[in-house]
A and B are shown apart, each in its own frame.
Chain A
Amino acid sequence: MKKQRLFELDEALGFALLAAVIFVLFPAILDDFRLNLFGKYLTYAFVAVGLVLCWGAGGILSLGQGVFFGLGGYCMAMFLKLEASTPENTAIQSTPGIPDFMDWNQITALPIWWQPFHSLGFTILAILAVPAIFAFILGTAMFRRRVGGVYFAIITQAVAAIMTILVIGQQGYTGGVNGITDLRTLLGWDIRPDSAKVTLYFVNGILLFACLFVAQAVRKSKAGRILIAMRTAEDRVRFSGYDVASFKVFVFCLGAAFASIGGAMFTLQVGFMSPTLVGIVPSIEMVIFCAVGGRMSLLGAVYGALLVNWAKTTFSESFPELWLLGLGGLFIAVVMAFPNGLAGLYQDFVRPHLGFLHRERARAPAADQSPAE
């Protein structure tokens, strides 16, 4: 089989277009406040991209991606909180030098497992490794037992619920319902002013593209094609001698790591982390971003996350009393009219008119016949 190219011509153009939108268009037309909001929306795009791999490509519907988003967010928040909790800043507490919420909960010394988060290097490692390891354990436990489909979705949802209860219940160590708030600096660099938010927006964009490239590479690799084969006929792949569970675990871990990076960037840009981003509702919302964008399309997922969150903000600013109905209407409309989301729209209505972009495909049709790619 001929080795696949990383990008077809129209995919490359799609990436370039998204890059132009994120790095040129938004900064040009949005003021600092809106740009920061779009930065926040883009952190959800990390999760949506991970979901495209897991759900769109691998057929694994996870309703617990908020857990991984939260793990990344909390790791980053712990580092920032420790930096903000200098003995000078916290002189008013009964135990200066520990995060304020610990003091409120009568904890008098920093717990051992918080200690390593004094180091940024460890924190970054933790952001990538902790959710991946957690996903590995979870994935191995379930996929080895051939738990899949609806059952997997339900279990991930239960994990999200457990995670929320755990975070809220252990408030002395996690900040409870309030979350970890009042984050100030990253290695002495103040993350609160508008200029810092603009910088973070670009860092966020670059990381998103890094994830998109990784995701694209995975999809075009042999593993990616096996994933798609699994989605369609898992047993046949298994009978062909492939270790189905390993592929699933791999893609689930990758999706978890993406979500975690998104969570860390969320904490940096929004300035706090709270359990409302970990539980069932945000996890399902993240699936909706992916569904609206089109669960088969990496780029569609980014646009989906942007569109849904932008609509959420706009509706709620214009109609504070009715905005949820508007948002619900949007979801219903999208699912009824375009079951493949924004990407499906592109496939059905735009792409046929762009035939000149994939002349080459016409010459080698066998290379890419998978549905809705």
Chain B
Amino acid sequence: MSDNKKTPANPLKSGPNRRAVLAGGAALTASLFTPKFLRAQDFPTAAVNTTGLAVTDDTVTIGILHSITGTMAISETGSVQAEKLAIEQINAQGGILGRKIEFIQEDGASDWPTFAEKARKLLVNDKVASVMGCWTSASRKAVLPVFEQNNGMLYYPTFYEGLEQSPNVIYTGQEATQQIIAGLDWVNRTKGAKSFYLLGSDYIWPRTSNKIARKHIENFMEGCEVVGEEYYPLGHTQFNSVINKIRLKKPDVIYAIVVGGSNVAFYKQLKAAGIDMTKEAPLLLTISVTEDEIRGIGGENIEGAYACMKYFQSLKNENNRAFVAAFKEMWGDDMVIGDVTQAAYLGPWLWKAAVEKAGSFDVDKVREASPGIELPTAPEGYVKIHENHHLWSKTRVGRAQADGQYEVVYETEDLVEPNPFPEGYQ
């Protein structure tokens, strides 16, 4: 389309709108140099936004909803940073359907009712086209009815327990089976591990994950057994009794899903009790310690432990090198990037791809377009959205180094299929 005046088919406008013409001119100039840019005037606002979302002729507004105060702030800050980086990069490439992304950031304050309140505010008042947000399962559960009722779209970055599949959420982290099964098989195959001691913080994610781990160990791994299973309240700092039990039972593997501040106490006390993880007797396998947590634990305290997740900062591929460099340039050289941070970075990109495939910002159309979306530029390599709104992704095992990074020692050959309702593991 070449005629500028005809195209912005916004019924509210009468006569030539100087701003639209200017914006159109700018986009046209830009498009001469980089022909792959999508131009806003090719996608009139009235056509790409039929549900009253916050989309104008040259911007689209999305929400960022994480805790930046309270106990979860330390974990969620990385996600906020990654999302802002992705938005900035998308804008530098010309935005989405020729529109710059603007964002409204709200603070969930580590408080679940606040998450629900802010989610409602973003969807009802601000009419954001999508929301990048939440971290804990509790916050996701709190906002879920809000998203379903107001038909919003949430991109949720954390690895989590599964057992959920909402039409209004895209889960960019791994669900439990993706993260657990490959790691257990690996430790059994390459390290000959037969006995496992499961422990974790006491809430839904560690419990569900350990349930899946136990079922897999008992039903699908020949000659393997669980010799203990224990839970501790969030924030617990006294692990000496369980460490004594571990020494008594002598398991091959300590399978640890301790979260948050408890990690610091747990790994320091393990080390103080003389369990040297570099000797791998017992070997420690965790699914809850990313590079972010190691900053608090201290590399020297966790050196030799294995972690099983989908992303490590040390991944050696071009996408990841560029991502790490851009992240550090934007947020500082001392930053580390954990699994969830990378998953959060995928959110805006996956949304962009779905919007462009749908040719519309409407949530229903984006939802319909989402399954099958591929992202070959993902730092973790390549991901694809499954019918069930989770991602196909590889599972990797990393070995913690004294410098706080993981060395990748294993990755699955193929992408692992997400299976939030695993048969035989319930």
A94 within 8 A of B: yes
Chain B residue nearest in CB terms to A194: B124
Instruction: Say whether A176 contacts B204, CB under 8 Å.
Output: yes
Return the contact of A178 from the options B105, B125, B137 (Cβ within 8 A). Answer: B137
Tell me the residues in window 269-292 of chain A with beta carbons closer than 8 Å to chain B beta carbons. Answer: 270-272, 274, 276-277
Instruction: Say whether B204 contacts A321, CB under 8 Å.
Output: no
Tell me the residues in window 387-426 of chain B with beta carbons closer than 8 Å to chain A beta carbons. Answer: 421, 426
A157 and B146 CA atoms in complex are apart in Å by 32
Tell me the residues in window 337-390 of chain B with beta carbons closer than 8 Å to chain A beta carbons. Answer: none
A182 within 8 A of B: yes
Main secondary structure on A side of the interface with B = helix
Interface centre among B109, B142, B144, B149 (most CB of A within 10 A): B142
- Inter-chain contact count A-B, CB under 8 Å? 101
Contacts of B211 in A (CB 8 A): 106
Instruction: Say whether A101 contacts B204, CB under 8 Å.
Output: yes
A184 and B69 CA atoms in complex are apart in Å by 30
Q: Size range of the interface on A?
A: 35 or more
Closest Cβ of chain A: how far from B381's Cβ, in Å? Answer: 31
With A92-B421, A177-B203, A272-B145 already in contact, the answer to whether A316 and B233 are too (CB < 8 A) is: no
Chain A residue nearest in CB terms to B211: A106
Instruction: Say whether B233 contacts A168, CB under 8 Å.
Output: yes
Instruction: Say whether A316 contacts B106, CB under 8 Å.
Output: yes
Contacts of B105 in A (CB 8 A): 320
A140 and B1 CA atoms in complex are apart in Å by 81
Contacts of A94 in B (CB 8 A): 426
Closest Cβ of chain B: how far from A151's Cβ, in Å? Answer: 26
Instruction: Say whether A272 contacts B421, CB under 8 Å.
Output: no
Contacts of A231 in B (CB 8 A): none
Contacts of B271 in A (CB 8 A): none
With A176-B204, A177-B204 already in contact, the answer to whether A316 and B107 are too (CB < 8 A) is: yes
Instruction: Say whether B208 contacts A171, CB under 8 Å.
Output: no
Chain A residue nearest in CB terms to B207: A105
Instruction: Say whether A179 contacts B112, CB under 8 Å.
Output: yes
A89 within 8 A of B: no
Instruction: Say whether B144 contacts A277, CB under 8 Å.
Output: no
Contacts of A168 in B (CB 8 A): 202-203, 233-234
Could you list 24 A-B pairs, sorted by A, with CB under 8 Å?
Answer: A33-B120, A36-B120, A104-B163, A105-B204, A105-B207, A165-B233, A168-B234, A169-B202, A169-B233, A177-B137, A177-B203, A177-B234, A178-B137, A178-B138, A179-B141, A181-B145, A183-B145, A184-B145, A270-B117, A271-B116, A272-B112, A272-B145, A316-B106, A316-B109
Closest 7 CB pairs of A and B: A320-B107, A178-B138, A181-B141, A177-B203, A33-B124, A178-B141, A274-B112
Which residues of A come within 8 Å of B, CB atoms?
31-33, 36-37, 40, 92, 94, 101, 104-106, 165, 168-169, 171, 176-179, 181-184, 192-193, 270-272, 274, 276-277, 313, 316-317, 320-321, 323-324
